[in-house]
Every structure is written in structure tokens, then in C-alpha cells.
Amino acid sequence: MSDQEQFLDVIDRDEAELRFRSALNLRPLGVERILVRDSLGRVLSANILARMDVPAFDRSNFDGYAVKASDTFGASELTPKTLKLLLPTLDAGTAPTVEIQTGHAIAIATGGMLPRGSDAVLMVEHADEQVGRVFLRRALTPGFGISFAGTDIALGETVLRAGTILTSRETGVLAALGEEFVDVWCRPRVTIISTGNEIIAPGELMRPAAVYDSNSQVLADAVREQGGIPLCRGIIRDNADELRTGLQAALDDSDVVLLSGGTSKGKGDLCYRVLSEWTDPGIVVHGVALKPGKPICMAVTAGKPVVILPGFPTSAIFTFHEFVAPVIRLLAGRQPESHEWVSATMATRTNSEIGRTEYLLVGLIKSDSGLIAFPMGKGSGSVTTFSRADGFVTIPRYTEIVDAGEHVRVCLIGRGLELAELVVVGSHCVGLDYLLTQLQQRGIQSKLLTVGSSAGLMAAKRCECDVAGIHLLDPLTDVYNRPFLNDAITMIDGYGRSQGVVFRQDDQRFEGKTPSEIVSIAMSDSSIVMVNRNQGSGTRILIDRLLAGAKPSGYSVQPSNHSAVAAAILQHRADWGVTIEATARTSRLAFVPLRNEQYDFAIPKARLHRPAVQAFIALLADQEIRRELQSMGFK
């Protein structure tokens, strides 16, 4: 086969991609452990689970006085309440050694650890202190001025998921968890070589017929954007021996090799001729029915991708993003890059070459009737077209004319925010964490807002989310979730969980007792403190049913998640509470089953058609996924 015949073996874009990827191992290159302080921009290789609660204890939100809220009832500017002031002040970083009894208060600094017995913090400006006494000029509700343990990050919570690109927000979370090191995917090393006798480096004195090397710069930064490490090896002239030496050196110390120029059929185009000497399998594509980008050459040797991009800047960057960028992202452990599309109207009639899929760069102008797309027809040799375009229109291979006024779809270039594809609100559950992790591994980004079952169901009824995780018990029918639906909501069956009473394993007062007996013991001894749950949560409904109107000590303390309940008990600020079995296991608390409940998913019917919602439903029906949930303790 002659060189001319090889180049003219032009194939369809999708066939080219299939041939190229089929010859590659596209798994991430490997894992490395690095310091968190060096991890900005890196990609997590594994989920980050919280090894502690954040905050790790109930803490004061401001300088003031730790009190019992009941001691402040009735206090005002005109009728202040007086409490005995305990010493010393609870500074930040100091563990309290006192217990607040009725009629007592203790000064506490911002961030200070709340002592047992207190359930509110009065701001310092609402009190007056005199010798041994403090005068309170405002009434408080239980929980005021307190950040409860685990309300920010809960022990065992999936804080960051594998595949997450670390920004300053995520590195701050890692630091808050006390993590010094983090496991990330290795970054692929990408050698970049520009070729051609006409190419000179920026900074050199311009000479006749010369062209500054812009491709190395744009490709290097594009590699960085995709998560790779660019290795710029300069310019190689049109010399076969120099090309062979440069190519071999690139294969020796990098994971991907990019050359630009020398891929066409001209006499001086040597790159593809030299590359054809490499095998296993060697060149897999040379010529794709694209405009711009027809002469691209793709090969694989020693298991590494070697791509000769067209020399013209617009052709080079287009073909890079079309074929190379997805490969670099996969090797770097990143998800496929998403694109934003908008509808527009073509401003002018545009002719396209039959037989080649054309990517037409356009500029967008907003009019009263919508967006108007103006073709930016400077050709593939332009160095400014790509940087100035708002997006591009894909003209199919066998379309010759796109008329003025015709509606087109425009793929935006680097514009807009990357929004979550699936928004989930409602009650938190580690089973839901697992499901969303599985979706992310399938390329679907999600956002989870844990606002409780009742708030989640209301958000679904208002069509403000895609999915709401709920476990609401109807006291009249003793049925979970379904009695609360309306015609706008459909219910997808989730899984069963076990709720129960928890306490410290060394607490002999509750050992061998039933939930009802534990309540009786608590009601008979005011020194035994419970930790409640927030109103509107499914767990609170169970608690109120168990208590049957009783309000043991601690009833008014209402953190909003399971882990905060466990933390209060482990830290001896409370003695018992109600949470799910999975949290009890993680926290090593004794667990007395109260009842099994159903954790289901409410979905607005108006959002059922969305691909991410359908993917979530399919995931729930997957038998392997359900077996994994069962192994986690869900039924």
C-alpha cells in the first residue's frame, strides 16, 4: 500500500474513535499517596469517609454563658434572671470538668466545648456579670447558640467520593478531618513535540516563511486542563532520524505522545512515515472524515497512544479535544467531560463539504427571538478562531447546506456552570451514599441535601428535586411513606432499615432491657439524659410514639442526624437515644431493635423522564447493587 493510498483510507469519526480506544488500556494509571497540601487539582482514587465527627463535640457558637434553657425562661431586659456563675471559664480547647445544674451557668468562649447539663448558650452581650453571679436579659430555647457534634460532618459519612477533583473547598474538608495524606490517581505524562522546518519557538526573531509554535502552548495547557502533566520537548525539524530518536525518547518517559504537523500526504510530511515503522499494533487510523481535522493520525505502540495532530492550530485543538482529551481523562481517573448545549438560529447560509462531518465555530449574539449563531469562517489555520468562538455547530457528514434561519444546536466552549445531573434531598442514609457513589462511577454527578424526610417530601411535591429519600411513618395506618404521597409523586421502593434504642455498651442500667423498659428507667431517674431528634424526621416520629407523651431529661435537645445522636452518647452528654443499626455499628454502641422501617424514594412524576432519574431507578433494581446493600445491613 502506497503512502497516498494509506492516507486516503478516510473513515468515519465514530469508527476512528472505536479503533483507537480498542487498542488501548483505558484504566487509570495507578494510585499515589500525596500530602493534602499538595493535592489541589488532583483526582481522588477512593471515597473519603469521615473518621470523626465535625464538630467533634457540642460547641459554643459565640462568647457567652452555657446554661440550661429552662433557667432562662421569662428573662428580659426589665426582668433579668440571676444564675450562680461557676469557674473557671471554658476556653476553646479545654474539656469541661463540671456539670451544669439548675440555677448555674459558666462562661464559655467561642468554640468552647459545652459541659454536660447545659443545652443553650447565652450571648455575652445579653448578660451582666457581677461577683459570682450572672444576670440574664434574654430567654433561650434549647439548642440555641450550639453547633452539635456531627452536624457538619458525621462519623462514617462519605464526605468526598472517588473521582472528585480536589479544589480548595475539598482540601479544606480534608484538613478539617485531620487528614495529612490523600490517595489520588497518578497523572498521565504527555510528551508534546512540534515538527516542521517552518516552526520556530516564541521569543525567537521572526524570519521569512517561519511560524511561531503556538500548538505546544495550547496543547500543554489543554493537557493540564484534562489532568495530565505536559512534557514539552520543543521542535524537531523534518529529519527522519531526529524524529525516530525523539519519538523513542518520548515513549520511554511518558504515557501519551503528541506530535503536531507532518501527518498529511506531502513530500515533507515525515511524522506518519516514521510512526509507521512502529508496530503492536502501530497506526490504527490515518484520516478521519472531519473538518477541521481530516489528516489526524492515531497509533498505539508499547501500549501507549501516539497521536499526530494536524499542524494548523484550529485543527490541532479540535482533534485533541475530540480524540485525545477523553483518553487523558480516563488515564487520569476523571469522568468524561460534559458539554453544555444551547439552541440558536443560524445567521447566514452555510455550505459544508459532503462526506465530512464539519465542526463549524460560531459566535453567539442574543436577540429578542433568542440566540443567533454567526459562523466564524477563518479556516483551520487561524490561531484566534477557537479562542474567540462561543461554541460550535456539528454539521452531519451528508448535509451540504445549513440555511439562514435554520435552528441548530450549539455546543458551548468553556461556558456555563457544570450543574449536578441528579438532585437528591431528604433523609440521610449511608445506603443512599453508596447508591450515589455508584452513579458517580457511571458518570452521573449528583448533589445531596440532607434536610429530613418531611422537608424532602415537600421539595419533591414542589418539583424542586429529582429524588427525595424518606422514611415517614403514618401513625393511623402504621404504613411507611405511601400514605403521604399525592398524584404528582411516584414512589420507588428502596430498602428496609432497623431503628433501635442505643446506649454505651458498658451502661449496665440498660443491659438486657426492652425499649419500653429503657424509657421507664429514664423517666424514673432525672440524671439519665436522652438525646432526641429533630421534628419532621422519620426517627422523631418513632421516638414520640415510644415515649407516648413522656418527656425524659434531654427531650428538648434535637440534633438533626443519626451520628450526632451517637456522638452525644459516646461523649457522655447523653445516655440513650434512637438511631439506625448501621450508625450503632459504626459507633460501637449497644443496639436494642425498636422496629424495622422502610426507606423509600419519592420522585416527582414530571422528572421521571430525566436520564439521571432513570439511571437511579435502574441502579435500585440491579440485583448486584441490592446484594451489596444487604451486606451493609439493609433489607
Kindly tell me if the per-residue pLDDT of 556 is higher than 60: yes
Confidence category of residue 200, pLDDT binned at 50, 70, 90: confident
SS3 299: strand
Distances (CA, A) of 295 to 116, 238, 275, 288, 514: 74, 17, 14, 7, 77
Could you report the per-residue pLDDT of 582-608, keeping only the tens digit for each? 889 889 999 999 999 999 999 999 989
Beta bridge partners of 522: none
13: left (phi over 0), alpha (psi -120 to 50) or beta: alpha
**Amino acid, res. 525:** D
Confidence category of residue 389, pLDDT binned at 50, 70, 90: confident
CB atoms under 10 Å from CB of 634, counted, come to 21
Interatomic CA distance for residues 551 and 344, integer angstroms? 63
Kindly tell me if the per-residue pLDDT of 10 is higher than 90: no
Confidence category of residue 510, pLDDT binned at 50, 70, 90: very high
The angle formed by the CA atoms of residues 25, 26 and 28, to the nearest 5 degrees, is: 115
Thinking of the domain 31-54+152-185, which architecture would CATH place it in? Alpha-Beta Complex (3.90)
For residues 207-227, one letter each, b for 16 or more C-beta atoms within 10 angstroms of the residue's C-beta and e for the rest, the string is eeeebebbbbebbbebbeebb
Task: Quote the pLDDT of residue 566.
Answer: 93
Task: Quote the pLDDT of residue 24.
Answer: 93
For helices 623-631 and 611-621, the axis angle rounded to 10 degrees is 60
Q: CB–CB of 219/325 below 8 Å?
A: no
Residue ranges of domains in the chain: 3-28+187-331, 31-54+152-185, 59-147, 341-412, 419-635
- The H or E element spanning position 224 is helix 215-225
Residue 438's contacts (CB-CB under 8 Å, 6 or more residues apart) are 619, 625
Task: Quote the pLDDT of residue 633.
Answer: 81
CB atoms under 10 Å from CB of 536, counted, come to 18
Percent of the chain residues past pLDDT 90, beyond the cut: 61
Could you report the per-residue pLDDT of 144-170, keeping only the tens digit for each? 999 999 888 889 999 999 999 999 999
Q: Which fold has domain 419-635?
A: D-Maltodextrin-Binding Protein; domain 2 (3.40.190)
Phi first, then psi: give them for residue 539, nearest 5 degrees: -65, -35
The angle formed by the CA atoms of residues 580, 582 and 586, to the nearest 5 degrees, is: 120
Confidence category of residue 264, pLDDT binned at 50, 70, 90: low
Beta bridge partners of 537: none
Residue 619's contacts (CB-CB under 8 Å, 6 or more residues apart) are 435, 438, 439, 442, 625
Task: Quote the pLDDT of residue 269.
Answer: 67
Is residue 509 exposed (0-12), middle (13-18) or buried (19+ Cβ within 10 Å)? middle
Q: In whole numbers, what is the pLDDT of the chain averaged over residues?
A: 89
Task: Quote the pLDDT of residue 5.
Answer: 42
Kindly tell me if the per-residue pLDDT of 374 is higher than 80: no
Q: Which fold has domain 341-412?
A: Beta-clip (2.40.340)
Pick the CATH number of 59-147 from 3.20.20.70, 2.170.190.11, 2.60.40.1260, 3.40.1350.10: 2.170.190.11
Confidence category of residue 430, pLDDT binned at 50, 70, 90: confident
Confidence category of residue 541, pLDDT binned at 50, 70, 90: confident
C-alpha cell belonging to residue 279: 508496530
Phi first, then psi: give them for residue 300, nearest 5 degrees: -135, 125
Confidence category of residue 268, pLDDT binned at 50, 70, 90: low
Interatomic CA distance for residues 198 and 27, integer angstroms? 38
Distances (CA, A) of 495 to 181, 422, 471, 561, 601: 35, 20, 10, 19, 10
Q: CB–CB of 289/398 below 8 Å?
A: no
Q: Which residue did the predictor score with more confidence, 549 or 380?
A: 549
Q: Which residue did the predictor score with more confidence, 416 or 100?
A: 100
Of 62-71, 267-276, 281-290, give the range with the top mean pLDDT.
62-71
Task: Quote the pLDDT of residue 103.
Answer: 96
Kindly tell me if the per-residue pLDDT of 135 is higher than 60: yes
Interatomic CA distance for residues 276 and 145, integer angstroms? 72
Average pLDDT over residues 26-49: 95
CB atoms under 10 Å from CB of 401, counted, come to 10
Q: CB–CB of 581/634 below 8 Å?
A: no
pTM over 0.95: no
Task: Quote the pLDDT of residue 1.
Answer: 40
For helices 538-547 and 515-524, the axis angle rounded to 10 degrees is 70
Task: Quote the pLDDT of residue 367.
Answer: 62
Average pLDDT over residues 220-244: 92
Kindly tell me if the per-residue pLDDT of 262 is higher than 80: no
Length of the chain: 635
Q: Give the helix ranges, DSSP H, for 256-335.
A: 271-275, 313-319, 325-331
Interatomic CA distance for residues 534 and 116, integer angstroms? 20
Closest by CA position to 174, among listed 281, 35, 68, 274: 35
State the sign of the Cα–Cα–Cα–Cα dihedral 400, 405, 407, 410.
positive
Average pLDDT over residues 342-347: 87
Q: CB–CB of 565/53 below 8 Å?
A: no
Task: Quote the pLDDT of residue 465.
Answer: 84
**Cis, peptide link before residue 326, omega less than 30° from 0:** no
Alpha-carbon radius of gyration of the chain = 32
Is residue 390 exposed (0-12), middle (13-18) or buried (19+ Cβ within 10 Å)? buried
Task: Quote the pLDDT of residue 462.
Answer: 81
**Residue 481 DSSP symbol:** S
Task: Quote the pLDDT of residue 263.
Answer: 63
Domain 3-28+187-331 has CATH 3.40.980.10: yes
- Across 218-227, 446-455, 581-590, 603-612, least confident range: 446-455
Closest by CA position to 324, among listed 191, 184, 166, 163: 191
